[in-house]
Amino acid sequence: MGAGRESRVEKDAMTVEIVYALVSGAVIGAVVTLVAVAILTVPLTPYGAALGGLVGVAHIVRVLRRFDRERRLGR
């Protein structure tokens, strides 16, 4: 393959990392929502769901940024 193009292994690694980020972000968001509703007695609508959504999205962004940083450093 030419310079600047990702190999099949690199593309597969990106796919795995994206799926991991999405699934783990959804699970973390759901857990945070359940904790907010059950323990903190935050009403489910809208604050509990918003809190879970924000935490889930923040996790996705963190995982993908870390992967990009490591990929650029050649790790």
CB 44, CB 32: distance < 8 Å: no
From residue 60, alpha-carbon distances to 5, 8, 26, 44, 48 in Å are: 25, 23, 9, 22, 19
pLDDT of residue 44: 63
Q: Check residues 6 and 12 and name the one with the higher pLDDT.
A: 12
Classify residue 2: in a domain, yes or no.
Answer: no
pLDDT of residue 1: 42
Domain count, the chain: 1
**Distance between CA atoms of residues 16 and 8, nearest Å:** 12
Give the tens place of pLDDT for each residue, 30-57: 998 888 888 777 666 677 788 889 999 9
Q: Check residues 15 and 75 and name the one with the higher pLDDT.
A: 15
Classify residue 57: in a domain, yes or no.
Answer: yes
CB 28, CB 63: distance < 8 Å: no
pLDDT of residue 47: 76
Residue 32's domain comprises 8-73
